[in-house]
Amino acid sequence: MKVRSSLKSLKSRHRDCKMVRRKGVIYIINKTDPRFKAKQG
């Protein structure tokens, strides 16, 4: 999982990437291709 200060560019890497906010932490999750996972915060 990558930790980044900005996730806007990571969201557009794959069409199945979704932004999810859990407990103040923003995650990029991708069910079909888990190598695109990232988080911020």
Q: Give the ranges where the chain is alpha helix by DSSP (H).
A: 8-11
User: Looking at residue 38, what is its pLDDT?
Assistant: 96
Per-residue pLDDT at 14: 93
Q: What is the pLDDT of residue 41?
A: 83
pLDDT one digit per residue (tens) for the chain, 41 residues: 999 999 999 999 999 999 999 999 999 999 999 999 999 98
Sheet of strand 38-40, all strands in order from the earlier edge strand to the far edge? 2-3, 38-40, 25-29, 18-22
Instruction: Give me the pLDDT at residue 23, please.
Output: 95
Report domain extents, the chain. 1-38
Residues 6+ apart with CB under 8 A from 29: 17, 18, 20, 37
